[in-house]
């Protein structure tokens, strides 16, 4: 009979020791997880469960002065790809490409990037594109709702409005200047989620709701803006001009009723613009030599300082030799003989304006021009406003000849807005106003009106009255003004300008001019100050013929739109 096999005691001891060690190891791990690493592991678990999502704020609307929407939001969708769920990436890329506006190769590159799990393919798709994608039922393609910025009137006032970029941030114009106001404040949701990323409804969550942006009500009147843009387009087409600008301001308040430039852009299609300069607003950011329209300010200072009166007579001859030897002539080398101050404006006499400038003197002329707001930003609530250029006595760019050439708007530069705002000071009786394009901010906390602000008095009411009368009389006395500029039945104060264009290499381009008309009316109670500026007209160089018809058309339609009665009966032409 075989003896039973007995396990050696040393082996039993070894197995027992191993079991004890195993138990100790397990115990150590338990203690380590539950005690030593408890806080770290708890934080890691909470971080896995708790996720923070940004909740975008709804951007405020931008309305015109009549309450019509110029910028608003519409529902849209964000299309994304869950990479692991894509069954046929190549096919997916090909069918999505024409719908979302990206190439198939670009989409393939995005969804095949190593380590990518969730890829946003396009933002703010319009409803039609979203419906097309839904109908395809592509595995792994997800649509999430969001808002899209739209501009219902297309390119109307686009350089005033600006646009909202892909990150939903305002750029240029009002959208950029008031981004923090109209854009609102994003909110945040911190919530527990399951392993699939879904919010656990019964778990604790913290919601910080977004604060939606405020609505803006502009001073821009879309009806006036449309009048201005149509007139500008017609003038540019008729005269073969590459560009132009028109500004309409209420001289009593400083409010901008219309501001248009060409070329422009459609903010709904801003991403298709190849030259970013189209986004800039030439009315506030581009400077030019104003030419004879500047004589309005020279005459204002002549009258204001007492250097001249309306009845002062000057006989300038046919030319004048400047310090340094250069000769200055009137346009077409005309010699007008003795002229009173109104006739200097009527004839647009360079020699007469030079004489007035000389009578005022440099010590009074340049402080006076600065008081009109030249050579520094006007303070309008739009971005990137230019300073302008006004060399002063004692500065390197100023010579004694500047005193004379500045008198007819050469050797200095202004923005269209600066010139309009200065002319408005004459129109309203002598007060320089702060120009503005926003009149109200409407938020959750109520409505805030943007205050109308007078900057300073620049001339006396009597000087403003005298100069207004002289400008009206000049329009009535001039055959050219009557043909192109005058508005039948109304007293309009106006001055034309035909400015030379500086050449990059120095001097002036003999083939180019900037044609303009600056004026305000009705003269008895001015409601509109208007500048029409046409750059490099091809068929005529003159301000009255290139810019005058647009100026007249704008005034005729403004007076009709606002139902302002005529100053005089309009003569009826009998039919033959």
Tens digits of residue pLDDT in 184-224 = 887 776 655 554 445 555 456 666 778 889 999 999 999 99
Average pLDDT score over residue span 515-536 = 98
**Cβ contact 123:166 at 8 Å:** yes
Q: How far apart are CA 72 and CA 58, in angstroms?
A: 10
Structure tokens at 412: 């200095």
What are the tens digits of pLDDT across the range 367-380? Answer: 999 999 999 999 99
Confidence check: pLDDT of 30 > 70: no
**What pLDDT, on the 0 to 100 scale, is given for residue 197?**
47
- Coil/strand/helix, residue 189: strand
CATH of residue 354's domain is: 3.40.710.10
List Cβ neighbours of 527 (8 Å cut-off, separation of 6 or more): 250, 251, 252, 521, 558, 562, 564
Average pLDDT score over residue span 549-563 = 98
Residues of the chain with pLDDT > 90, as a percent, come to 72
332 or 174: which leads in pLDDT? 174
Does residue 257 form part of some domain? yes
- Coil/strand/helix, residue 551: helix
Q: How confident is the model at residue 107 (pLDDT cuts 50, 70, 90)?
A: very high
Q: How confident is the model at residue 38 (pLDDT cuts 50, 70, 90)?
A: low
* E strand map for 367-492: 431-433, 438-443, 446-449, 454-457
Q: How far apart are CA 491 and CA 230, in angstroms?
A: 24
**Cβ contact 339:394 at 8 Å:** no
Structure tokens at 370: 């600065």
Q: Are residues 140 and 262 in the same domain?
A: no
Parent domain of 143: 76-101+118-147
List Cβ neighbours of 169 (8 Å cut-off, separation of 6 or more): 179, 183
**What pLDDT, on the 0 to 100 scale, is given for residue 276?**
93
Q: How confident is the model at residue 550 (pLDDT cuts 50, 70, 90)?
A: very high
- Look at the alpha carbons of 244, 250, 252, 254 in this order and tell me if their dihedral is positive or negative: negative
**Cβ contact 246:535 at 8 Å:** no
Q: Are residues 381 and 260 in the same domain?
A: yes
Does residue 45 form part of some domain? no
**What pLDDT, on the 0 to 100 scale, is given for residue 16?**
64
Q: Which of 152, 192, 137 is nearest to 70 (CA)?
A: 152
Ranges 108-117, 123-132, 319-328, 479-488, most confident: 479-488
**What pLDDT, on the 0 to 100 scale, is given for residue 560?**
97
Q: Are residues 124 and 259 in the same domain?
A: no
Q: Are residues 269 and 368 in the same domain?
A: yes
Does residue 182 form part of some domain? no
Does residue 411 form part of some domain? yes
**What pLDDT, on the 0 to 100 scale, is given for residue 116?**
78
Distances (CA, A) of 485 to 23, 176, 480: 104, 37, 8
Q: Are residues 143 and 284 in the same domain?
A: no
Strands 215-218 and 438-443: antiparallel
**What pLDDT, on the 0 to 100 scale, is given for residue 48?**
47
**What pLDDT, on the 0 to 100 scale, is given for residue 292?**
98
Average pLDDT score over residue span 308-322 = 93
Q: Are residues 379 and 488 in the same domain?
A: yes
Q: Are residues 450 and 324 in the same domain?
A: yes
Q: Which of 237, 233, 174, 305 is nearest to 246 (CA)?
A: 233
Least confident of 386-400, 414-428, 558-572: 558-572
Confidence check: pLDDT of 8 > 70: no
What are the tens digits of pLDDT across the range 241-280? Answer: 999 999 999 999 999 999 999 999 999 999 999 999 999 9
Least confident of 2-16, 144-158, 333-347, 351-365: 2-16
Does residue 356 form part of some domain? yes
Average pLDDT score over residue span 532-560 = 98
- Residue 574, Cβ density class (10 Å: 0-12 exposed, 13-18 middle, ≥19 buried): exposed
Q: Are residues 502 and 415 in the same domain?
A: yes
Does residue 377 form part of some domain? yes
Confidence check: pLDDT of 399 > 90: yes
502 or 116: which leads in pLDDT? 502
Calculate the average pLDDT of the chain.
90
Cα–Cα–Cα angle for 164, 54, 195, rounded to 5 degrees? 135
CA 487 to chain centre: 31
What are the tens digits of pLDDT across the range 338-348? Answer: 999 999 999 99
**What pLDDT, on the 0 to 100 scale, is given for residue 186?**
79
Does residue 181 form part of some domain? no
CB count within 10 Å of CB 119 equals: 17
CA 416 to chain centre: 14
**What pLDDT, on the 0 to 100 scale, is given for residue 53?**
60
Q: Are residues 540 and 398 in the same domain?
A: yes
**Cβ contact 160:173 at 8 Å:** yes
**What pLDDT, on the 0 to 100 scale, is given for residue 196?**
44
Q: Which of 377, 376, 374 is nearest to 366 (CA)?
A: 374
Confidence check: pLDDT of 45 > 90: no
- Domains contained in the chain, number: 2
Q: Are residues 368 and 452 in the same domain?
A: yes
38 or 21: which leads in pLDDT? 21
Does residue 26 form part of some domain? no
Q: Are residues 444 and 312 in the same domain?
A: yes
Least confident of 195-204, 398-407, 440-449, 521-530: 195-204
**What pLDDT, on the 0 to 100 scale, is given for residue 209?**
79
Quick one: three-class SS letters along 100-156?
Answer: HCCCHHHHHHHHCCCCCCEEEEEEEECHHHHHHHHHHCCCCEEEEEEEEEECCCCCC
CA 557 to chain centre: 25
List Cβ neighbours of 343 (8 Å cut-off, separation of 6 or more): 336, 349, 352, 474, 477
**What pLDDT, on the 0 to 100 scale, is given for residue 337?**
93
């Amino acid at each position: 009979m075989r003896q039973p096999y007995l396990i050696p005691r040393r082996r039993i001891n070894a197995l027992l020791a191993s079991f004890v060690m195993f138990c100790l190891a397990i115990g150590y791990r338990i203690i380590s997880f539950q005690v030593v690493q408890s806080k770290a592991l708890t934080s890691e678990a909470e971080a896995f469960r708790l996720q923070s999502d940004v909740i975008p704020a709804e951007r405020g609307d931008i309305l015109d002065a009549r309450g019509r929407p110029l910028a608003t939001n519409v529902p849209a969708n964000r299309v994304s790809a869950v990479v692991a769920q894509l069954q046929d990436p190549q096919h997916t890329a090909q069918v999505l490409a024409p719908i979302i506006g990206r190439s198939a190769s670009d989409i393939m590159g995005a969804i095949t990037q190593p380590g990518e799990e969730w890829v946003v393919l396009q933002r703010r798709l319009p409803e039609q594109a979203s419906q097309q994608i839904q109908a395809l039922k592509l595995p792994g393609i997800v649509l999430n709702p969001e808002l899209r910025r739209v501009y219902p009137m297309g390119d109307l006032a686009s350089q005033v409005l600006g646009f909202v970029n892909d990150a939903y941030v305002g750029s240029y114009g009002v959208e950029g200047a008031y981004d923090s106001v109209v854009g609102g404040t994003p909110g945040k949701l911190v919530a527990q989620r399951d392993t699939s990323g879904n919010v656990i409804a019964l778990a604790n969550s913290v919601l910080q709701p977004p604060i939606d942006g405020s609505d803006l009500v502009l001073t821009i009147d879309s009806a006036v803006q449309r009048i201005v843009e149509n007139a500008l387009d017609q003038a540019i087409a008729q005269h073969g001009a590459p560009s132009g600008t028109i500004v309409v301001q209420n001289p009593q308040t400083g409010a901008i009723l219309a501001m248009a430039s060409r070329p422009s852009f459609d903010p709904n299609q801003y991403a298709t613009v190849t030259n970013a300069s189209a986004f800039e607003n030439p009315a506030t950011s581009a400077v030019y030599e104003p030419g004879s329209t500047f004589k309005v300010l020279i005459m204002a200072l002549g009258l204001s300082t007492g250097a001249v009166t309306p009845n002062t007579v000057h006989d300038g001859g046919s030319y004048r030799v400047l310090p340094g030897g250069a000769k200055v002539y009137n346009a077409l080398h005309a010699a007008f003989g003795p002229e009173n101050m109104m006739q200097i404006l009527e004839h647009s006499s360079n020699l007469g304006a030079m004489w007035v400038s000389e009578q005022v003197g440099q010590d009074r002329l340049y402080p006076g021009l600065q008081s009109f707001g030249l050579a520094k930003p006007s303070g309008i609530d739009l971005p990137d406003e230019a300073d302008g250029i006004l060399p002063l006595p004692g500065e390197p760019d100023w010579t004694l000849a500047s005193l004379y050439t500045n008198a007819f708007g050469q050797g200095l530069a202004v923005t269209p807005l600066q010139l309009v705002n200065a002319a408005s000071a004459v129109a309203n009786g002598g007060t320089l106003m702060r120009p503005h394009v926003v009149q109200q901010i409407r938020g959750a906390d109520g409505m805030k009106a943007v205050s109308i602000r007078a900057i300073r008095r620049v001339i006396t009411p009597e000087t403003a009255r005298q100069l207004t009368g002289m400008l009206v009389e000049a329009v009535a006395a001039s055959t050219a003004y009557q043909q192109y500029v005058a508005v039948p039945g109304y007293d309009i104060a106006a001055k034309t300008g035909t400015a030379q264009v500086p050449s990059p290499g120095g001097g002036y381009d003999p083939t180019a001019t900037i044609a303009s008309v600056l004026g305000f009316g009705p003269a008895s109670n001015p409601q509109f100050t208007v500048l029409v500026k046409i750059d490099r007209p091809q068929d005529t160089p003159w301000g009255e013929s290139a810019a005058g018809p647009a100026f007249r058309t704008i005034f005729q339609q403004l007076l009709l739109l606002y139902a302002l009665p005529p100053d005089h009966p309009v003569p009826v032409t009998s039919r033959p």
